[in-house]
Structure 1
């Protein structure tokens, strides 16, 4: 079952406000625990982890910045 536009907007907000800070903490702990030896390895680790978090939520974030496709059209009266 596909989520409605409003439900996707709400889930996107929850993911960004709650899930992303939690993921940042987990990624920081993971990077500290792995203790990469060079700057480039550390940079690659953080860039990789920065991209990986959004992949499961791609369908939720698609089209969120656009107008609601289910809303009735507004009459443009000048």
Structure 2
């Protein structure tokens, strides 16, 4: 079942308000486990976690910045 534009906008807001802080906590936790790695390892961890966080929610964010296609003109 496809989400409506309004539902996708609401879910995008929830994901950004809940998901972004969770992403930051996950990054800090992983880097603490590694005991202050080198810059390149740290950068790689941020990139991998950023991609893993964003991929499942790609369909929610697609087209959110565009005008509502279901709105009456």
* Equivalent residue, structure 1, for 2:59: 59
* Alignment partners' CA distance in 1, 2:61 and 2:39: 32
Q: Secondary structure at the match of 2:22?
A: helix
Deviation of residue 31 (structure 1)? 1.8
* Equivalent residue, structure 2, for 1:35: 35
TM-score normalised by the chain length of structure 1: 0.84
* Alignment partners' CA distance in 2, 1:64 and 1:11: 10
Gaps of 5+ in 1: 74-78
* Equivalent residue, structure 2, for 1:20: 20
Q: Secondary structure at the match of 1:10?
A: helix
Aligned-pair Cα RMSD in Å: 1.3
